[in-house]
Structure 1
Amino acid sequence: METSSASAFSSSDTAALERQTEAEQSVTLEQIWNENHRRTSTDWIRKNGFKRVCLQFPDDYLPHSNAISVALTELLALEQVKVFILADTTYGSCCVDEIAAAHVDADSLIHFGNACRSKASRLPVLYLYPELVLDVGLLLSKLQSLRAECKDRQLCVYLDIGYQHILNEQLKKHLKEALEPKDFVLELFPPIEADSIASKESTSLERICIFVGADNQRFANLSLTAPAAVQWHIYDGASSNLSSKNPLTAQFIRRRYFHIEKCKDAQTLGLIVATLSAEGYLDVVTRLQTMAKGRGIKTQLISVGRINPAKLANFLEIDCFVLIGCPFNNMYDSKEYYKPIVSVFEAEMALNPAWHMRYPEAYVTDFKQLLPEGRSFLPFDAADIPEHDVSLVSGRLRGTVNECLETAGDPASLALATQAKMSLMTTDTGLSFEDRTWQGLDPALGQTEPAQLQQGLSGIPINYTHQ
């Protein structure tokens, strides 16, 4: 019982190998480490004179990590470059783990696989993507069924990572001839350049969008953040299947808006910092604390690495969590968690009165867009918070209940309300250490006899010299 309970709060020796949450289509060594990858990485290291290089791999690349490390070390033998493998990450494999790299005093990092491309502030980073096989002729044949739908409309085709090597003018020409759109956009996702078309608002809502890749987290991120389109289509390069999908389904919207209402009802918000590399995360923390304070909501700042239900269950006093993460790691389906988890954008909609009765055209997954320089920024003014705010979940008044009772001139009612509020804040919230039922190990200083000194183990764990 003790072993299974403890394992929920720390990773086992094989956790990184057994974890399946981030694994996608299996890749071969040739797809992630071919001649192009070898030439790009060695040229980058030699040009900049790096000597301590970290290789960061996602979970599904780990079987090939040792072979890549050995090969890179041999290629750079004359330069005497030291290579390290980051087999597990602090938050998500899409984020550059500068914290783990700092433990070995690395001067550079090569990131493999899925990448959110959040700006790294401490280390220079080289991104290497897989090169997956795609039958372009079969792709064009499958897309012929969309010709009537695309004609005289704006067409946007996004290539998932793994297909960046087929992006060229010839492919663009073939797609335009096959589908005959009025306007055409072809680019990678996630975009390599910060000012790419995918990061801008579209001038047309009559768009047909095609994602060449799997139905994965990157597609969810892109389809939710893009302005409203006529339809989304997914072409899976591995199975050659073409399917349609509406990311903003009714069930999804109902669930997310329910979480927004729960965020409004919260008395204490837990701000989970799930990134230390994304630019602007401290500004977002400050903004959330300011908005919560304006509504009389307490906040607690939390950093627990990769979150799981057992970790967050320790914070009994928190009514709702806000996950501050990179664009690919900030929207959690919190069905397994005891309290709802909302994104920064959903917390913004809950706390900022400027979003009242305003329906967004699309979700915002990049929290930098909610800051003053972002395109989705709306200024916060505590004076605009409605005096009478009714919860759509509980049906009760929020925020200014006691003020309303005071203006009504009923001292008895005011005393009763104040007593109830104080009772709620001092009994079951767990805000103070002494209120918790478990306070850790009791040292019992001076109450036990000292133990007799004994010789301990010596040597290395695989072969102790003293048993």
Structure 2
Amino acid sequence: MTTSNTFSSSDTAALERETELTDEPTVTQEQMWNDKHQKTAVDWIRQNAYQRVCLQFPDAYLPHSNAICDKLKQVLPGINFFILADTSYGSCCVDEIAAAHIDSDSLIHFGNACRSKVSRLPVLYMFPELPIDLQQLFEKMSMLKDNSKDKVLIVYLDIGYHHLLENDLTDMETASLSKNLKETLQCKDVHIVAYPAVEEKDQILCNDEQICVFVGEDNSRFFNLSLTKKAQQWFIFNPLTNTLNEKNPLTANYIRRRYYYIEKCKDAQTLGLVVGTLTASGYLDVISRLQEMAKSRGVKTQLISVGRINPAKLANFLEIDCFVLIGCPFNNIYNSKEFYKPVVSVFEAEMALNPAWHMKYPEAYVTDFTELLPEGSNFIAFNKENIARQDVSLVSGRLRHATIDDSVELANTNALSAQQQALVTQGKMEVMTTNVGLTYEDRTWKGLEPALGCTEPAKLQKGLSGIPIKYTHD
């Protein structure tokens, strides 16, 4: 009889496992830390009199972390610096939880950043300065002359190319990048902005008559930007390959798959609210709102916090029909097809649970869940009185029943006669439990039994030493 290795791994897997890198491009130390970066960081620390500063690096930047930390210690002796190498959820989010463990009073964040509002620590963002051939940029952009003539052109600079807004152009006759593009392409107007925006006032409103160009790679930031901003056409200029390609973020297959998951969310009897952040402002309000909408429909919710999610982690929750990921805007893991159950965003859950979205097509996709709160631009009030008692599932074709309110159900039960109530009473040999939390007790494996007070105290003994693959005995 052979044993399957599906639920186990080899003894050397932990030692041979490689670090999973993100879509960040490879950067050198000179690109991510120069004299300008050092002056900005030193002035920021001195002006605010910080004493315990955390340096958060993504995995791709870790080889340069010690050198940067040493340079700061030389310039600022007496200041305590700490390197954060393992973030709880994603490298783009500020890891305030890890910083709180060492009682830090400030944090410097390197690399990809979602710029989600933080509430516990002051944060300084440090972006690299990646090289770009401006001559190639103008040559490729000149191909858009017919498309962008007499229209508004918006150029979004990805992380790594924000320095184009600070440095004057020396190879061009004029000193403004936007002026060169406007004269070359004969545009109505040209806006060059950094993405993500430093402040909300720096954001540009897009419409269906504008041409948008993203200077960077086809990464999660472009995915987020192109979904949330309306434009007539989207283009990507990749400075690494000097190519300009047209991109359509909302393909037909993508739209069909997301609406299929929304219908699966409507069919769900149990929703798993996966907390993908503990620092973004407003995540507790979103959790309360989702719980309220689910409860009004008679749908049970389970709050889950497992750090970085993957298919193996979420597969442990067999009773949950659909997961709702509450994370930062750049966390587009819900687009993965590897999960066993659907994983939807907060916006998709809002469309499924809020009756105000019924038969309403959104003008733009929403990835920032704070926009769905009362202060947000895409907020729609929730009224449980508008929930349809019966609805037909577009996936299974079956009739869905929504429990509007507990008082309504109680009144219906009281209206039944004694004979009718006897018919609906559950039998003694029931195999289903009404409480989702109790179903975990029916699992075959439940871990160690506490058996408090039933066993004698064990004697203290010297433990094992070494690595888990092979312990050594003294």
d(CA) in 1 for partners of 2:48, 2:100: 18
Query: 1:253/1:188 Cα in 2 relative to 1: closer, same or farther (>3 Å)?
Result: same
Question: 1:337 aligned to 2:335?
Answer: no
Using the TM superposition, give the Cα deviation of residue 49 of structure 1 relative to its aligned residue in structure 2, in angstroms.
Answer: 1.2
Q: Which residue of 2 aligns with 1:170?
A: 176
Give the partner amino acid of 1:18.
T
Using the TM superposition, give the Cα deviation of residue 429 of structure 1 relative to its aligned residue in structure 2, in angstroms.
Answer: 6.1
Question: 1:207 aligned to 2:180?
Answer: no
Q: Which residue of 2 aligns with 1:115?
A: 113
Q: Which residue of 1 aligns with 2:60?
A: 60
SS class of match (2:302): strand
Using the TM superposition, give the Cα deviation of residue 137 of structure 1 relative to its aligned residue in structure 2, in angstroms.
Answer: 1.3
Give the partner amino acid of 1:436.
R
SS class of match (2:141): helix
Q: Which residue of 2 aligns with 1:74?
A: 74
How many residue pairs match? The answer is 451
Question: 1:136 aligned to 2:134?
Answer: yes
State the Cα RMSD in Å: 3.4
Give the partner amino acid of 2:228.
T
Using the TM superposition, give the Cα deviation of residue 23 of structure 1 relative to its aligned residue in structure 2, in angstroms.
Answer: 3.6
Q: Is the 8 A contact 2:54 2:84 kept in 1?
A: yes
For residues 129-186 of structure 1, what are the alpha-carbon distances to aligned partners after superposition, in whole Å with 9 as ceiling and x for unaligned? 0000111111001111110100011211100011111115611111111211123221
Give the partner amino acid of 2:128.
P
SS class of match (1:84): strand
Question: 1:29 aligned to 2:29?
Answer: yes
Using the TM superposition, give the Cα deviation of residue 382 of structure 1 relative to its aligned residue in structure 2, in angstroms.
Answer: 1.1
User: Aligned match of 1:86 in 77, 84, 87?
Assistant: 84
d(CA) in 2 for partners of 1:296, 1:312: 23
TM-score by length of 2: 0.86
Equivalences for residues 398-437 of structure 1 within 5 A: 398-400=400-402, 425-426=432-433, 431-437=438-444
Question: 1:180 aligned to 2:183?
Answer: no
Equivalences for residues 3-402 of structure 1 within 5 A: 18-20=19-21, 22-77=22-77, 80-167=78-165, 170-198=176-204, 200=205, 202=206, 204-227=207-230, 229-400=231-402
Query: 1:413/1:112 Cα in 2 relative to 1: closer, same or farther (>3 Å)?
Result: farther
Give the partner amino acid of 1:52.
R
Q: Which residue of 2 aligns with 1:439?
A: 446
Q: Where do 5+ consecutive residues of structure 2 fail to align?
A: 167-174
Query: 1:23/1:73 Cα in 2 relative to 1: closer, same or farther (>3 Å)?
Result: farther
d(CA) in 1 for partners of 2:215, 2:313: 36
d(CA) in 2 for partners of 1:250, 1:311: 30
Query: 1:423/1:296 Cα in 2 relative to 1: closer, same or farther (>3 Å)?
Result: farther
d(CA) in 2 for partners of 1:111, 1:14: 29
Q: Is the 8 A contact 2:296 2:403 kept in 1?
A: no
Q: Is the 8 A contact 2:234 2:248 kept in 1?
A: yes
Q: Is the 8 A contact 2:300 2:436 kept in 1?
A: no
TM-score by length of 1: 0.88
- The percent of aligned pairs where both chains have the same amino acid is 62
Q: Where do 5+ consecutive residues of structure 1 fail to align?
A: none
Q: Is the 8 A contact 2:297 2:403 kept in 1?
A: no
Query: 1:358/1:101 Cα in 2 relative to 1: closer, same or farther (>3 Å)?
Result: same
Using the TM superposition, give the Cα deviation of residue 69 of structure 1 relative to its aligned residue in structure 2, in angstroms.
Answer: 1.1
Query: 1:354/1:177 Cα in 2 relative to 1: closer, same or farther (>3 Å)?
Result: same
